[in-house]
A and B are shown apart, each in its own frame.
Chain A
Amino acid sequence: MAEKTDTRVHRPHIPSPARRRVNRLGRGGFQAATIAFFTIFAAFPFYWMLIATFKTNQDLYRPLNNPFIFNQPPTLDNLKLLFNETNYTVWIGNSIFIGIVVVLITLLLAVPAAYALARLSGRLGEQLGILMFMVYLIPPTLLFIPMSRVITVLGLRDSIWSLILVYPTFTVPFCTWLLMGFMKSIPADIEEQATVDGYTRFGAVVRVIMPLALPGLLTVVVFSFTLTMHEFIYALAFVSISAQKVISIGVTSELIRGDVYFWQSIMSAGIIVAIPVAIIYNVFLDRFVAGFTLGAVKG
């Protein structure tokens, strides 16, 4: 009896099973709509680039055409122009080469620096780390003028080596700061244990710290590679010979001639590079995010 009274009293607060199902459906629908919106939002540029790549001029430029579909048969002419009449493959090669060399330089400098700042110098290390991060915040739009002097004096103008020299100036500070957070999150105990277990400090770093900092190292690789890929100002200011250009400059400077835009070729140039980068990014995304948030959580 008492139980029955109880249920009646509480009934207004408890949705019936049917009601709950409706709620769940409503929530599910809202979720699906949100996901759909952002998926389209993110994927649409890719679709646009892809479809434009194969469109003829008449198809693309007639205002009466439906822009979302092919109104005329697709063509490969734009790709032919891109590969046969520009240095596109050379630019890709340059970008990848610069990316790899800059990643190596960054690792070589940032890993020891981050370890030293995290472990060896105590409070001072932390402040120096923040200071290094500040360097990263100075925009290239200010730095490219003095840098340009340096490049000229070194005789590196119009050479990809100018970019290899300059890019580490922003990848190294940021990656050092990023790795510092990682190194700090690795307990000092573990490293000390390794030194008691018969290893030198260097041995301990290589065998214990490095494997544990692997997510951080991967983050650094992905981050500095993509950063060099999309860098624009230095590449524009220091290199004007076609064969030494990188992808970000080559496409924009040589596929826009005066007021003539080779839209289809620009689009194809973009998507050919964007898809592999997007795939790599997604494969490493979890680790990448972990890399950025780790320092924040475990300060």
Chain B
Amino acid sequence: MAVVETVKLSKHFNDVKAVDGIDITIQEGEFLVLLGPSGSGKTTLMRMIAGLEKPTGGTIKIGDRVVNDLPPRLRNVAMVFQSYALYPHMSVYNNIAFSLRPLGMTRQQIDDKVHWAARMFSIDHLLSRKPRQLSGGQRQRVALARAIVREPDVFLLDEPLSNLDAKLRAMARDELKQFQRQLGVTTIYVTHDQVEAMGMGDRVAVMSNGRMHQLGTPQVLYQSPADTFVATFLGTPPMNLVETDSCLLGFRPENFLPEAAHPDTPHPLVIDFHLTRVEFLGSDRLLYGTIEGADGPVKVVGDLPSVIDYTPEPGTICPMMVDRRHLSYFDKSTGQRIAPTPFALRGLRDPAGTA
């Protein structure tokens, strides 16, 4: 269990800046998620912490040690690869025991440890099997048991759930989070799946093109995205962005509701919405349409929960409302979050109502 810290950490592959100056501190026992699209540098960042890649610049600290020049085996980190990387020629028992053997433990100590880890993930009945005889979910559990058996300082997980089918994944997510709490190991978790990130992370670092866009709790990330990338990367459907004369205006689909459905919001912003299509998704209805932005119509989406017993008619102009507290403002050129600014928008019902 240790604090992990990177300072100005970067990794260049020839001209490509895979990781470009990342400063991040992961607290003891924290579950930190590195979230980003593929090619964002999140896996490279993790591999540098594991010692599998040599940084081009910057430092990595685990606990009090600068580990830049230490090989992986001396860092006391455990890693679970996306492929699980189980040793195909070894039984499950030997897979789990493998990392204990260089530590000079007695046979009995190793045996106790392996059984402890196997029981934790309920795979003690599989110990004599070979990896190829296991299902995907079982393999994943073996990989996790192998990672925790050494009680590492840091736990590195590289998309460990992406090879599971959707049903198993939700269950595995919950389990994994519980194990992490129970063990209290500092954990870095790489994923491109925002559901995993939001659901599991104590904090989430959103990355793209080797840079970190925002680091914060899932709530902060969702409610106050630091820039338009984070705003549109998180959330399904993503945040609506509408260009006004002075700024980019952002609002979440679930905050964009027909005025008729919510008559008494204290500070409403009411906009004319050209509704083109209603998509029924069971618990929600998605409203597709356009509003008038600075440069013509902009496509926006509203998310109307099914508990609201009101369905607007497609093909009509429907007055939609956003609570002003739920508006985000971004700079037009940099995309960075800015303080609320006065703006004008053509479809606005109350032109006087600026922020």
User: Which A residues contact B (CB, under 8 angstroms)?
Assistant: 187, 189-190, 192-200, 203, 207-208, 211-212
B87 and A190 form a contact (CB under 8 A): yes
State whether the Cβ of B99 lies closer than 8 Å to any Cβ in chain A: yes
Give the complex CA separation of A199 and B87 in angstroms.
Answer: 14
SS class of chain A's interface: helix, strand, loop or mixed? Answer: helix
Assuming the contacts A196-B77, A197-B98, asked whether A212 and B83 have C-beta atoms less than 8 A apart, the reply is no
B71 and A187 form a contact (CB under 8 A): no
Give the complex CA separation of A190 and B103 in angstroms.
Answer: 20
Give the complex CA separation of A207 and B81 in angstroms.
Answer: 19
Interface string of B59-89 (1 = CB under 8 A from A): 0000000000001110001110101011111
A197 and B81 form a contact (CB under 8 A): no
- Cβ contacts under 8 Å, A196 to chain B: 50-52, 72-73, 77-79
State whether the Cβ of B102 lies closer than 8 Å to any Cβ in chain A: yes
A197 and B99 form a contact (CB under 8 A): yes
- Cβ contacts under 8 Å, A211 to chain B: 89
User: Which B residues contact A (CB, under 8 angstroms)?
Assistant: 50-52, 71-73, 77-79, 81, 83, 85-89, 98-99, 101-103, 146, 150
Known contacts A187-B83, A192-B81, A200-B73, then 19 further A-B pairs from the complex at CB < 8 Å, ordered by chain A residue:
A189-B83, A192-B52, A193-B79, A193-B81, A193-B85, A195-B73, A196-B52, A196-B72, A196-B73, A196-B78, A197-B98, A197-B102, A197-B150, A198-B73, A198-B99, A198-B102, A198-B150, A207-B98, A208-B87
Give the complex CA separation of A203 and B73 in angstroms.
Answer: 11
Give the complex CA separation of A190 and B79 in angstroms.
Answer: 11
A198 and B87 form a contact (CB under 8 A): no
- Cβ contacts under 8 Å, B73 to chain A: 195-200
Shortest beta-carbon distance, A186 to chain B, in Å? 9
Give the complex CA separation of A187 and B87 in angstroms.
Answer: 10
A203 and B102 form a contact (CB under 8 A): yes
B82 — nearest CB in chain A belongs to which residue?
A: A189
A186 — nearest CB in chain B belongs to which residue?
A: B88
Give the complex CA separation of A62 and B41 in angstroms.
Answer: 83
Shortest beta-carbon distance, A256 to chain B, in Å? 50
B102 — nearest CB in chain A belongs to which residue?
A: A198
Give the complex CA separation of A74 and B102 in angstroms.
Answer: 65
- Cβ contacts under 8 Å, B50 to chain A: 196
User: What are the nearest 10 A-B pairs in CB distance?
Assistant: A197-B99, A189-B85, A193-B85, A198-B102, A198-B73, A195-B72, A196-B72, A211-B89, A189-B81, A196-B79
B103 and A198 form a contact (CB under 8 A): yes
25 interchain pairs (CB within 8 A)?
Answer: A187-B83, A189-B81, A190-B86, A190-B87, A192-B52, A192-B72, A192-B85, A193-B79, A193-B81, A193-B85, A194-B98, A195-B51, A195-B71, A195-B73, A196-B51, A196-B77, A196-B78, A197-B102, A198-B73, A198-B99, A198-B102, A198-B150, A199-B73, A212-B88, A212-B89
Shortest beta-carbon distance, A218 to chain B, in Å? 14
Give the complex CA separation of A212 and B71 in angstroms.
Answer: 24
Shortest beta-carbon distance, A135 to chain B, in Å? 31
Shortest beta-carbon distance, A183 to chain B, in Å? 15
A189, A198, A200, A211: most-surrounded residue (chain B CB, <10 A) = A198
